[in-house]
Amino acid sequence: MAIRCKVVIIGAGGHAKVVIDMIQSNPEFEIIGCTDRIGNRKISGIPVLGDDSILPQLYEQGIRHAFVAIGGNSVRHQLARHALDTGFELINAISPHAYVADSVILGSGIAVMPGAVLNAEACIGNNSIINTCASVDHECYIGETCHIAPGCNISGNVRIGEGTFLGTGTKVIDGMTIGSWSILGSGAVVVKDIPSYCLAVGVPAKIIKKLT
């Protein structure tokens, strides 16, 4: 029987519960526990071992793989950097109920939730989330640490910059570019390019605020 890689989950909220379910379906991995500020409990049957300060200790004990199960982009970005600096390798959590085309390029630390579709030659950057029933069509580029929320539909040849959040049900027509660290409100429909550091909402999506 093959030896399974032991994994620590960084985070212990609702998003982590979905990640745990996906990783447990993969026979390559064994979850040894989670980290969170609130300890002495279990989530989805997995013990919370302590807060993030125990990561170096776990690495010393021979745990070499981690997954950052945090929905917020900026916090996930920071914790992923911390895990990598500690020495961990970040794994991908991909639901067996997602469709990922053979030509898709995946970074590391990525979550692909049940019902998600990644079509031909899409490229997904490190630490991004493709959430439940979201679709990313052919030749799209999703930058690092993005969150594509449940039910989003991204048409072909779309480029999305680092750290951007697409709210639930966002639609993006083909060929659009959305900049880095922008936020699209739930149900927005993107029919023209959106620059970096913007909040855009509505149908069609309109910029209502610049973000810092």
pTM: 0.96
H or E stretch at 59: helix 55-60
CATH number of 5-91: 3.40.50.20
Active site residue 77: no
Grouped pLDDT means (10 residues each) for the chain, 212 residues:
86 96 95 92 95 95 97 97 97 98 98 98 98 98 98 98 98 98 98 98 97 90
Contacts of 45 (CB under 8 A, 6+ apart): none
SS3 81: helix
The string over 178-187, giving b where at least 16 C-beta atoms fall within 10 Å of a residue's C-beta and e elsewhere, is bbbbbbbbee
Binding residues for substrate: 71
CATH number of 94-200: 2.160.10.10
Q: Where are the domains of the chain?
A: 5-91, 94-200
> Residue 123 forms beta bridges with which residues?
105, 141
User: Do 9 and 35 touch, CB atoms closer than 8 A?
Assistant: yes
Could you check whether 5-91 and 94-200 share the same CATH topology?
A: no
Position of tokens 């031909």?
A: 120
**Over the stretch 139-197, which tens digit does the pLDDT of each residue have?**
999 999 999 999 999 999 999 999 999 999 999 999 999 999 999 999 999 999 999 99
Position of tokens 């993006």?
A: 172
For residue 203, the 8-state DSSP code is T
Contacts of 123 (CB under 8 A, 6+ apart): 104, 105, 140, 141, 142
User: Do 150 and 167 touch, CB atoms closer than 8 A?
Assistant: no
CA distance 180 to 211: 11
Binding residues: 71, 147
